[in-house]
Amino acid sequence: MSLSTLLQRFTEPETLKMAKLGRELRAKGIDVIDLSLGEPDFDTPEHIKQAAIKAVNDNWSHYTPVPGYLELREAVCTKLKRDNNLDYKPEHIVVSTGAKQSLANTILALVDDDDEVVIPTPYWVTYSELVKIARGKVVEVRSKVEDGFKINAAQLEAVITPKTKAFLFSSPCNPSGAVYSREELAALVEVFKKYPQIYVIADEIYEYINYVGDHQSIAQFDEIKTAWYS
């Protein structure tokens, strides 16, 4: 079988390889501590199961609008305002089937051939693979353990070039657990203000899974929102 050049650029993420190996070892009776997939060690809570069953029984099972049901997008806006003090409208929200799809859609919508995407290390291995699929170039910025695995404004600005299209990061970070403070994010924002052509892609899926307890979203800084969000 001859696969497309697009697919050939993509390699199986290390996390999936680790998960597969873990399953194989467990099948042999070996006790394995699996640190691969970011999955909780409990089943889906009962109230969520019942809500899903009710939705099916109520016939919420047809094709949805591309960005998601209006009621759902309104609920997302309510959550963002309540939990993060962020003001968004339903037309600013797109619902997907998961973080990976959201990131893939965003990167494919923004990144062209040879566009550069800056990613602080360490990072979720899928980030770089998605950039490769979009024919972009990954520019890694290495963080240090003594800095809490976080980069600073000087490190960020040092790697920005005319080809820089996006900055992709997570806070809380998978896999380091690093959480950027408001002051640290503000310093990065000061750099982005100089380069309005750069899109900031913030993966904040782990906002409640951290040991700091005070999650700060980079979306709180109006200076880096595009006119589309105004």
- The domain limits of the chain are 97-229
Residues 6+ apart with CB under 8 A from 27: none
Query: For position 207, what pLDDT does the model report?
Result: 93
What stretches of the chain adopt beta strand conformation (E)? 116-121, 137-142, 164-170, 199-203
pLDDT along the chain (230 residues), means of 10: 78 83 94 83 94 95 94 97 94 93 95 97 94 95 97 98 98 94 97 95 93 90 68
Residue with tokens 């409640």: 208
Query: For position 63, what pLDDT does the model report?
Result: 93
Query: For position 226, what pLDDT does the model report?
Result: 63
Residues 6+ apart with CB under 8 A from 48: none
Residue 46, helix vs strand vs coil: helix
For residue 167, give both structure tokens: 């900055």
Domain 97-229 has CATH 3.40.50.740: no
For residues 89, 94, 97, 99, the Cα torsion angle rounded to the nearest 10 degrees is -90
Angle 42-44-46 (CA atoms, 0-180°, nearest 5)?
A: 115
In angstroms, rounded to a whole number, what is the distance separating the alpha carbons of residues 142 and 136?
19
pTM: 0.89
Query: For position 227, what pLDDT does the model report?
Result: 47
Query: For position 170, what pLDDT does the model report?
Result: 97
